[in-house]
Amino acid sequence: MDGGSQRQTVLRLWRQAVIMPVVRTPRPEQAVAVARALHAGGLTVLEVAWNCAGAAEVLAELRRWPGVTVGAGTLLGTADAAAALRAGAQFLVSPIGSLDVLALAHAADAPCALGAATPSEVWRIHQAGSDLIKLFPIAAMGGPQLIKDLREPFGRLPWLVSGSVTLDNAATYLDLGAAVLALGGALLPKDAVAAGDWAQIRHRTEAWCRWLQARFAKAI
């Protein structure tokens, strides 16, 4: 794929962001408010969970925001993937290893992260060209130790880790080679969303961004 393609441009933005919040709320207006708080806090790459109410409308709204890269997640097949692309998704994320979803994404010049839980699944989707490899639910599968074990046969693959990622374990995942950290409850506590406490979400986002900036500053 040409390095100047849309797929590679979006993938570069995705990986540069490192932190990717997963927006999953009971109501569409909550999702938009959450996304606004996340963006105000400093994040520019957002995933909208496709199984939340009004996901297509939310995604289409976020696509209108300047400086935001938005994708769709929790895609369980090509029908979901096609609908997400029609709504404007710039990247696709699936918890399963559907090569049909991958093919659909690449045909639309969009990057895609497929899910894997075993060495065979990891290798299958890597060989097929999955741009990132989603390890979910990472905590239930062994946490950082899983990546340590997978690195023995596979080396450093572009991991997207998802599931109970917090400030306490994020650095360990990045040290082991994780490319992207998918964040749920660490950024979006259910009680804050239910209460409409968008300030809390913005403050949490700012704390994560400060942590990431400090980490990169130490690496220079």
Question: Distance between CA 50 and CA 74 in Å, rounded?
Answer: 6
Q: Are the C-beta atoms of residues 216 and 52 closer than 8 Å to each other?
A: no
The token pair that represents 88 in the structure block: 């404007």
Question: Distance between CA 169 and CA 152 in Å, rounded?
Answer: 21
Of 134, 148, 190, 206, which one is the catalytic site residue? 134
Residue 76, burial from CB neighbour count under 10 angstroms (0-12, 13-18, 19+): middle
Of 47, 148, 206, 218, which one is the catalytic site residue? 47
Give me the sign of the Cα torsion angle 186, 190, 193, 199: negative
Residue 118, burial from CB neighbour count under 10 angstroms (0-12, 13-18, 19+): exposed
134 is catalytic: yes
Among residues 203, 141, 161, the alpha carbon closest in space to that of 19 is found at 161
Question: Catalytic amino acids?
Answer: 47, 134
